[in-house]
Amino acid sequence: MSAQDEPVANIADRIAIQDLVVSYAKARDTTDPDAYRQIFAEDAVIALADGKVMSKDLDEILAKVAGDQVRFNPGWQPGMTSYGIMRHEVCNVSITVSGDCARSDYYVNTLAYNEAEKRPEIISVARNEDEYRRRAGRWWITKSTLIFGWENEAMGKALRVGPYTPPEYRR
């Protein structure tokens, strides 16, 4: 089917899902738990490409967000928008809708300010494969698979992320 033949409903669904992808990136930047509650289903899973489950439901996702606030956005306060030290940029979003289910694939570039070098740097260039379900008339992320690659080891060490995450923040 060509883009010209795509039903208007599918286009609206793809736009709604695109908005979830962008909202997910902004939620990571702001560490705002209310934003996560608007994005993830109660039974949502965040996993790595090797199948390891990082969070098995929304409660576990929100627990990780609380840890991220302490580590990356100590200025966060309820009701205020506060950006942490990282920025997540999404691009090349591909979305496929099939009834009340959908999938997407997109790149995530994560940047942070390198205090030692006095400049922003890319921490990682990763890819997400997400799954969605329409429930009660709206779309939710039900699974987000993180596929990391091209990590910046020096920044990982400086920010204590990825393999350098302290044990108290690991799941």
Kindly list the domain boundaries of the chain, sorted by start residue.
3-74+101-169
Is the pLDDT at 5 greater than 70? The verdict is no
Q: How far is Cα 102 from Cα 134, in angstroms, rounded to an integer?
A: 8
Q: Give residue 158's pLDDT.
A: 81
Measured CA distances, 89 to 78, 86, 109, 141 (Å): 24, 10, 5, 18
| pLDDT the model gives residue 1 | 52
Say how far apart CA 37 and CA 59 lie, in whole Å.
10
Averaged pLDDT, 26-50: 97
Is the domain covering 3-74+101-169 a CATH 3.10.450.50 domain? yes
Average pLDDT over residues 131-148: 96
State how far the Cα of 162 lies from the Cα of 86, in Å rounded to an integer.
Answer: 13
In one letter, which amino acid is 37? R
Q: What is the mean pLDDT of residues 52-64?
A: 96
Supply the pLDDT for residue 2: 54
Tokens of 44: 């949502």
**Region class of 136: left (phi > 0), else alpha (psi between -120 and 50), else beta:** left
